[in-house]
């Protein structure tokens, strides 16, 4: 019997990230980069490194890879590439050059590797960038992703530390991917739900970014492995603000609540809750499954945009992307996120 991609992994997609609490402790022990050309590194948990080129432009650099959540190697390649490219879009930039990162086991047919790379290539070509090489190693657990270099004018850079009191928050994709993928791995997920999730994961954030360019964006990030609450809290902490989310306005993938009730929650969900729960205040009437979904790791998730209120309303009306919350001045206790 031939082995499948997902049979070789314990966790998949962005749910395979190290627990944020442990990672934060390690990063805090490292010296901060001291370079006047460096506009942003990991200190504020921004999505990509930003480095001045001296001509008014910034070079954006990011890297992302993970184990598969689908057995179809071409689809896995597409999702992994879309996820990696997203970090550049979340900084307001345009991807230009990519390199493949591959870990591949000897027990799988080499044709699967070809299909993974073809899937990644399809998304890189769709965004107008090029793949120029990469690196491969033999590994018992398959993994794929990209190193991505992009560019943006410095005055058009988006960072996660610029949300302002009075802003409204727009989210461009639904949440709940990690729960659906856990149900899929257990062969308990309905295809009608996972197909919708797949379409979302393979949709480039290029289109949401291009749609919002005519409007003023104060701050941005993308929602990936650390969940909506995790990435929102990073924005709140970096910006020195409090974020208020409206649970009823947050788009959730169909089927997610049902599978959360049944217990198909990925391990990353509990790591995220452990990392951020002390800085989150949840409404007492919030259903447990919604609590779980808010901490759910996302793969190739949407952009979270903090925008001036008038611009946010106009953008939401024109695009159909929902306004899910607002930004307020900080309060004295440790609360960064309140969910009503």
Answer for the pair 84, 126: CB distance below 8 angstroms, yes or no.
Answer: no
For residues 112 and 116, give the distance between their C-alpha atoms in angstroms, rounded to a whole number. Answer: 6
Tokens of 147: 């190193």
Catalytic residue among 14, 98, 127, 296: 14
Task: Report CA dihedral (226, 82, 127, 191) to the nearest 10 degrees.
Answer: -130
**Cβ pair 41, 206 in contact under 8 A:** no
Strand partners, 339: 245, 282
Helices (H), 285-329: 288-294, 309-319
Inter-residue contact 160 to 239 (CB < 8 Å)? yes
Q: What are phi and psi of 324, to 5 degrees?
A: -110, 0
Active site includes 14? yes
- C-alpha 214: how far from its chain's center? 23
Placement of tokens 């952009």 in the chain = 303
For the record, the structure tokens of 142 come out as 């398959």
Nearest C-alpha neighbor of 164 from the set 238, 250, 246? 238
Catalytic positions are 14
């Amino acid at each position: 019997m031939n082995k499948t991609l997902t049979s070789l992994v314990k966790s998949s997609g962005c749910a395979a990230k190290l627990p944020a609490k442990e990672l934060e402790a390690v990063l805090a022990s490292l010296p901060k980069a001291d370079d006047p050309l460096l506009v942003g590194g990991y200190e504020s948990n921004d999505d990509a490194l930003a480095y001045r080129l001296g001509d008014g432009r910034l070079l954006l650099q990011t890297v992302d890879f993970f184990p598969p959540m689908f057995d179809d190697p071409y689809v896995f390649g597409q999702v992994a590439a879309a996820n990696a490219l997203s970090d550049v879009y979340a900084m307001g930039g345009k991807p230009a050059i990519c390199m493949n990162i591959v870990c591949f086991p000897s027990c799988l047919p080499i044709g699967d590797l070809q299909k993974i790379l073809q899937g990644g290539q399809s998304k890189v070509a769709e965004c107008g960038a090029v793949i120029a090489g990469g690196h491969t190693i033999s590994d018992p657990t398959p993994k794929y992703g990209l190193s991505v270099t992009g560019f943006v004018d410095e005055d058009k850079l988006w960072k996660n530390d610029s949300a302002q009191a009075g802003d409204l928050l727009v989210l461009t994709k639904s949440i709940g991917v990690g729960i659906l993928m856990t149900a899929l791995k257990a062969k308990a997920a309905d295809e009608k739900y996972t197909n919708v999730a797949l379409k979302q994961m393979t949709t480039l954030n290029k289109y949401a970014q291009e749609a919002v360019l005519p409007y003023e964006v104060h701050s941005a990030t993308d929602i990936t492995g650390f969940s909506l609450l995790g990435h929102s809290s990073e924005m709140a902490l970096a910006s020195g603000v409090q974020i208020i989310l409206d649970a009823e306005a947050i788009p959730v993938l169909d089927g997610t609540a049902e599978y959360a009730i049944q217990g198909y929650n990925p391990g990353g969900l509990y790591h995220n809750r452990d990392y951020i729960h002390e800085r989150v205040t949840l409404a007492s009437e919030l259903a447990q499954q919604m609590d779980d979904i808010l901490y759910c790791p996302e793969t190739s998730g949407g952009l979270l945009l903090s925008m001036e209120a008038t611009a946010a309303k106009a953008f939401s009306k024109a695009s159909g992307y929902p306004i899910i919350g607002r930004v307020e001045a900080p309060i004295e206790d440790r609360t960064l996120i309140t969910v009503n």
